[in-house]
Chain A
């Protein structure tokens, strides 16, 4: 072999000598200058992919992803068991998290970190009391008031409470006991609500100083013993949709008065009930299409966290199922979370148990792109 190579080289040299023009070498590669990439302007097809980093839980992060160009734009670090929220004006991302002075031990510090979504640079830190709820991601671990004056943080020690952070002052200003009710669901200009074991909704009004001015407890709207609702409610405008373990949809509407509860409607037929069940960390609603997306599986009592083998699609105006999309579990894994962009030309995201992210056409279910393994354990998706 070596002899053949030498021979071929000699032939080439011979040809050149015989008069063939020698190709000019290409110009050198231009000098590079190290710089920091500038983010493009945010659009509705950005996705904030929440990686819980389950195998190294002090190292959660949120990947910022562009679903138009199928590329990662950057990262927001998120620490330990974080809560996450995008501000109502979309300009900021908020992370409530916990650090220790020596990595995994030492002095504990709970902090609220605010990141500028135009640069992904952290611009502000507010120290929190060390009682933050450490749980799975939901839309209600932390939440902004609609005018962004306050940010609410769910606490659990295991006594349940909430911390009110005044973003103008840059400091926590109130600690409000929630009587065992959990999470912080924004429900008015100066109101936040929590889910209670009694199947009721506790709503707390706060004043301009962030302190409680009044509270009210709704009538029971679900039954935790018969059919509990997932805490992963879907907030859209002034409504939140909750899915129950057996597959009923509970819609709560917030207004000036007390919350209004629509009559629940079923995702399953009588024959399917108890067999086909919802199961996921996240469900999705697309307001322009009036479509609800729910990962479903054939299950039993206790299977409510099993990944979906199918995504079922519902018309939320007519309360009917309009599609069943079978997921290739062997190829992608079962679906553990779905999210939809909120624009008129939307993208549907489906996160699988393999931490793959599928980008789908929310009208047809066609897969447009697959990110096969994102980070460690992506469990939730936020969209601006």
Chain B
């Protein structure tokens, strides 16, 4: 159910963005940098999140309010969990970014790798709480599909960045 809702949301958002954007390079950038559920099987899966398995076993990895939460393996920003939302939902009054980038995080609690979507929540100024900067598999902005430096609220009507979430899209097939 959750996946279906996300599918629809991504698809709608991506189409909406495409309609607003007619630039020559859009398809090239978009195909890498996003995106809709229909495109997900085409995306390369970043398995570098496996490095998380090497972290000390004492690390808890299961607190959405903590930066070491396993889903946050490449998040860069304020945790929406601390800003009125959760690890997968935006705070009230904000708007999810329709575009984002997708990575893979290893969950040491069940031993699986998960594809996650790092969305920003937009439309209010920065939350300022629980800053977290982890970068497993993150790349510089010339590989936009793996970059967490740019403002992923860039295509929102109000591109103010507020906080970041990490939404599970499914188990990463090995």
| A positions within 8 Å CB-CB of B | 54-58, 80-81, 98, 100, 104-105, 108, 133-136, 156-161, 177-183, 195-197, 224, 228-231, 300-305
Contact = CB atoms under 8 A, between A and B. Distances in A.
Contact of B126 (A56, A133, A195): A56
B126 A304 contact: no
A134 B142 contact: no
Contacts of A135: 141, 149-151
| B contact face: mostly helix, strand, loop, or mixed | loop
A222 B112 CA distance: 32
B122 to A, nearest CB: 11
Interface string B118-150: 000001111010010111111111111000011
Given A55-B128, A182-B141, 5 more contacts: A156-B154, A181-B142, A195-B142, A228-B143, A302-B136
Interface string B1-43: 0000000000000000000010111101110111000000000
Interface stretch (B56-64, B155-163, B164-172): B155-163
Contact of A305 (B54, B135, B154, B161): B135
A303 B124 contact: no
Contacts of B30: 158-159
A133 B138 contact: no
B160 A177 contact: no
Contacts of A230: 140
Closest 9 CB pairs of A and B: A302-B136, A134-B151, A55-B128, A159-B23, A159-B26, A159-B25, A135-B150, A195-B142, A57-B126
**Residue from the set B30, B76, B140 with the largest chain A CB neighbour count within 10 Å:** B140
Contacts, number: 130
B51 interface: yes
A104 B124 contact: yes
B74 interface: yes
A160 B33 CA distance: 11
For chain B, the bracket of interface size reads 35 or more
A179 B141 CA distance: 14
Contact of A179 (B21, B28, B125, B131): B28
B20 to A, nearest CB: 9
A160 B29 contact: yes
Contacts of B153: 134
B51 A161 contact: no
B99 interface: yes
Nearest to B133: A305
Contact of A302 (B23, B24, B74, B159): B74
B137 A159 contact: no
A342 B1 CA distance: 59
A179 B26 CA distance: 9
A54 B126 contact: yes
A193 B102 CA distance: 28
Nearest to B50: A301
Contacts of A302: 48, 51, 73-74, 134-138
A105 B122 CA distance: 11
B28 A224 contact: no
Contacts of B131: 54
B138 A304 contact: yes
B28 to A, nearest CB: 5
Contacts of A304: 135, 138
Contacts of B123: 105
Contacts of A81: 151
A134 B159 contact: yes
Nearest to B138: A302
Nearest to B140: A231
A159 B142 contact: no
Nearest to B139: A228
Contacts of B133: 305
Given A55-B128, A57-B125, A134-B154, A179 B135 contact: no
Contacts of A57: 125-126, 160-161
22 contacts: A104-B124, A104-B158, A105-B160, A135-B141, A135-B150, A156-B141, A156-B150, A157-B154, A158-B33, A158-B144, A158-B154, A161-B23, A177-B24, A180-B144, A183-B142, A197-B143, A197-B144, A228-B139, A230-B140, A302-B48, A302-B135, A304-B135
B125 A160 contact: no
Given A134-B151, A135-B149, A156-B154, A58 B135 contact: no
A140 to B, nearest CB: 11
A98 B160 CA distance: 10
**Residue from the set A57, A158, A160, A182 with the largest chain B CB neighbour count within 10 Å:** A158
Given A80-B160, A156-B154, A177-B23, A224 B139 contact: yes
